A and B are shown apart, each in its own frame.
Chain A
Amino acid sequence: MKAKDLRTELQPVWCTGCGDFGVLKGLTQALADLEVAPEKLAVISGIGCSSRLPGYVKAYSFNTIHGRALPIATGLKTARPELTTVVVGGDGDGFSIGLGHLPHAIRRDVNLTYVVMDNGIYGLTKGQASPTTELESKRSRGLGGSDEQPLNPVLLVLSSGCGFVARTHAGNMPHMREMFRQAIEYPGFSFVHVLAGCVTYQPRGYSDQLLQRSYELPQEYDTTDAGAAINAVRDGRFALGVIYRRPLGAAAVAAGATEDEDWTPPDAVLKQDLPTE
């Protein structure tokens, strides 16, 4: 199976050079690698430039409303567990208006893959600040919220107990393809943070700056160590790779609990954590 077997005839409306092109390619490559037939695939999104992506994938796709892709995908996957379900969207969609749904989707551990194309801006509505826009950037460009600290979405996802967390860069095709493949294969809720550029509302060279601040996690990095994962996402740099992968059957841990060896998760968490498929 080839990536283009999973493409519709529709031509993307994205600006030339937009990071979302790479994500579309990487995602269809990964799905083709996994031999996911179009009729067994559902791609769900909210609203934003990035949320246009489902229209370009041959699948049972659903371009829903702003911020609500996760609940809709949760309903679909719960009712039709045999479908491979991928949720895509932007940082505004997922970390602002739709943020309330994220920890709950993680708690339910429904077997979805959630890909966020984080361009640090509201692209579709023409460049307002998003929850991940850097302080300096807001100040220098006179955007709203210039006194508000940006959010660390990966830390948030980890601390909510997400079983699979990875980060990749929209300019690095082989890496993206690999991260998507692993995330889709993971039998539970998986999250992929994609550093994506916006050529229109971010300064020139923004995508390269993201890359400069990034580094690939070393070979010896233990992806099953939740404490290490949290440390890896706490500095200002972007660790790329699989940041955390919870071993099957292990308990979901909240961020604060990782250091405490005596801490045992309550029954409810254990039960919820049993592999569902």
Chain B
Amino acid sequence: METRTEVLPANAAPETPMRSLVIAIAGSGGDGVALIGDLLLKMAAHQGLYGMLVQSYGPQIRGGESAVVLRIGDREICYEGDDTDVLVCFKVSDLKRFRGSVHLHDDSLLVLEEKDEGVLPDWLGATKRPVFRHPFATFDGGVEVAGEPKNMMALALVCRALGWPESLAQQALAERFSHKPALVERNMPTFRKAFNLENVPAITKLIGHGVPLVVETGNEAVARGAMAAGLRFFAGYPITPSSEVMETLIDELPAVGGRIVQAEDEISALGMVVGASFGGVPSMTATSGPGLSLMTEMMGLSSMAEIPTVIVDCQRAGPATGMPSRTEQSDLYHAIYGGHGDFPRAVLGVFDVVHARDVMFRAFELAENYQLPVLVLSDAYVAQRRQIRDGVTDRRDKPRRWRWTPEDGPARFQLSGDHPVNAFRVPGTPGGTYMAAGIEHTEDGNPTADAGMHQKMSEKRFAKLEGIADDTRTWARTLGKADATRGIVAWGSSYGMLREWVAGNPEYRVFLPEILHPFPLEAFEEWRKGLAETTTVELSFQGQFHRYLCSLTDMTAVRSIARSGGLPMSMRELGSLLAAPAAKKEKA
């Protein structure tokens, strides 16, 4: 089995640092800020540069202020960066909602509206460079009126500053608006006017490797990874931040012969998935916290009736409705423990867009092999980001469910076998009829209320977890140098930030489980040997991950850095939290 480490030997030479730039653009709804980010990312990908883009909205999902933060560089990027190298802002007053997402340094290039007299907030930091002012808006008697598109001007200025040719922008626009070529032509004069200005300051030029790369969101990667793993039935109910999983599949699943239903609610969505998988078809649903809550009873059915299902939860912040477009890591308890009665399930975590495909393959592998629900925990930070990635060739082998034939014996839920998983009886197979049931059942699937049988069946079902634990003992990723003495344990989308953290702080190394339940405990114990200090880092107010680890192993003297989500944790924040004296020692 493949080991998955990025640990460098103790004597390894330091890597050449990545060259990267963070560009932030803040505007109001209707400024077309998202489009600029999109186009810049496309242009970067085209040159063989890597990057990622995160969008930030006001509290409402549509309209209002919006900002994009884009980071591009010459190495794979899965962290948005700490400091903003270029900030374009059409209206200073729009900035207030983006506190924490933008931060200037001494050499940042700040581009503002010529006539905007707004005062820059203190939290933004300051640059020593002169501010570049540009007449983005059109005014009539002091009132802003509709004028030439601001986003075209901003795009042109950023391209110029980056030293990117006009042709690159033209091509990206043509691709994006292939259905409206006239629109591109109409807007190019605005672009050129700004692009050809004399005094646009230059910023660090980034050189890509020249081989065009792919732009994908976390949700697209989840959808495509699932398809590559054999997904042929999907049912879902729209919910931020997971909806694009369904939207991508509506576009792409029918082409491979799969079917999709938009359900009336999440109970129904997972119900349909259970039904389709009962029919022998690899099936999945995707949702966010509120939907996962509704799916809980059905998850138990999937496990009890031994029907494979894959459930993707793109975590958002908070209970009830919470903050739908914001990220958090607080569905961990629900994923691992949620539901009545004792039933086994597996829980995987997603690091970034590149990892998502891999995780989906593993999820289907476990679900189909072990005939139980597998939860995949993504989050808003991964789901909604666009990330530039290398092209992928999907694996050709697909997870295969063990299909019943008459040689496999008469019982669907056999107890005497040496393996807890039995051949799956696919409807349509002559001689294989049986009853699947959520009610406790005998080996034949007939209802029972026998206490002894319930114990035996529980043993059989839970024996699957031992098999899974065995198969997945290496499903963790470690970062940093093997002789580092400070350890960080984290999971999911914290990966991107921590990968850069260890690059800049060689005294640290990191452990990130790819499977959260059953937890790769042996790998963890091995990894933490020789550490002088250890800290868990997560976006959960309760510290769910830390407390979960406390239930598995000795966590005495392990510090917990846990806060509620909303914004992902930056390296700056992590640095100051690690430097601060531990407020209170978490008890194990």
Binding site for B on A (CB under 8 A): 8, 10, 37-42, 44, 47, 52, 54-55, 58-65, 68, 70-80, 82-83, 100-101, 104, 108
Q: How far is the CA of A71 from the CA of B272 in the complex (A)?
A: 5
Q: Is B427 touching A63 in the complex (CB atoms < 8 A)?
A: no
Q: Is A76 touching B428 in the complex (CB atoms < 8 A)?
A: no
Q: Is B427 touching A39 in the complex (CB atoms < 8 A)?
A: yes
Q: Is B280 touching A39 in the complex (CB atoms < 8 A)?
A: no
Q: How far is the CA of A100 from the CA of B237 in the complex (A)?
A: 14
Q: How far is the CA of A114 from the CA of B257 in the complex (A)?
A: 27
Q: How far is the CA of A83 from the CA of B446 in the complex (A)?
A: 22
Indicate whether B438 reaches chain A with its CB closer than 8 angstroms.
yes
Q: A40-B428, A75-B233, A80-B279 are in contact. Are A62 and B267 (CB under 8 A)?
A: no
Q: Is A78 touching B433 in the complex (CB atoms < 8 A)?
A: no
Task: Count residues of chain B with CB under 8 A from any CB of chain A.
Answer: 44
Q: Is B428 touching A39 in the complex (CB atoms < 8 A)?
A: yes
Closest to A101 in B: B268
Indicate whether B271 reaches chain A with its CB closer than 8 angstroms.
yes
Mask, B267-290, CB within 8 Å of A = 1, is: 111011111111111010000000
Within 8 A of A (CB), among B443-482: 446-447
Q: Is B283 touching A71 in the complex (CB atoms < 8 A)?
A: no
Q: Is B279 touching A76 in the complex (CB atoms < 8 A)?
A: yes
Task: From the candidates A38, A47, A60, A108, name the one contacting B261 in the complex (CB within 8 A).
Answer: A108
Q: Is B275 touching A39 in the complex (CB atoms < 8 A)?
A: no
Task: From the candidates B233, B298, B300, B430, name the one contacting A78 in the complex (CB within 8 A).
Answer: B233
Closest to A81 in B: B259
Question: Hey, which chain A residues are within 8 Å of B268, CB to CB?
Answer: 68, 70-71, 74, 100-101, 104
Q: How far is the CA of A82 from the CA of B283 in the complex (A)?
A: 18
Closest to A80 in B: B279
Indicate whether B175 reaches chain A with its CB closer than 8 angstroms.
no
Q: Is A65 touching B297 in the complex (CB atoms < 8 A)?
A: yes
Question: Hey, which chain A residues are within 8 Å of B428, CB to CB?
Answer: 39-40, 60, 80, 82-83
Q: How far is the CA of A79 from the CA of B301 in the complex (A)?
A: 19
Indicate whether B432 reaches chain A with its CB closer than 8 angstroms.
yes
Mask, B5-26, CB within 8 Å of A = 1, is: 0000000000000000000000
Q: Is B259 touching A72 in the complex (CB atoms < 8 A)?
A: no
Within 8 A of A (CB), among B388-439: 425, 427-439
Q: Is B272 touching A72 in the complex (CB atoms < 8 A)?
A: yes
Question: Hey, which chain A residues are within 8 Å of B273, CB to CB?
Answer: 75
Within 8 A of A (CB), among B304-331: 305
Q: Is A73 touching B425 in the complex (CB atoms < 8 A)?
A: no
Q: How far is the CA of A73 from the CA of B261 in the complex (A)?
A: 13
Question: Hey, which chain B residues are within 8 Å of A101, CB to CB?
Answer: 264, 268, 271
Q: Is A39 touching B433 in the complex (CB atoms < 8 A)?
A: yes
Q: Is A75 touching B437 in the complex (CB atoms < 8 A)?
A: no
Within 8 A of A (CB), among B359-410: none
Closest to A60 in B: B427
Residue of A44, A62, A83, A104 with most partner-chain B CB within 10 A: A62
Residue of B283, B432, B437 with most partner-chain A CB within 10 A: B437
Q: Is B431 touching A39 in the complex (CB atoms < 8 A)?
A: yes
Q: How far is the CA of A204 from the CA of B141 in the complex (A)?
A: 87
Closest chain A CB from B116 CB (angstroms): 47
Q: Is B447 touching A79 in the complex (CB atoms < 8 A)?
A: no
Q: Is B274 touching A75 in the complex (CB atoms < 8 A)?
A: yes
Indicate whether B82 reaches chain A with its CB closer than 8 angstroms.
no
Closest chain B CB from A121 CB (angstroms): 21
Closest chain A CB from B283 CB (angstroms): 7
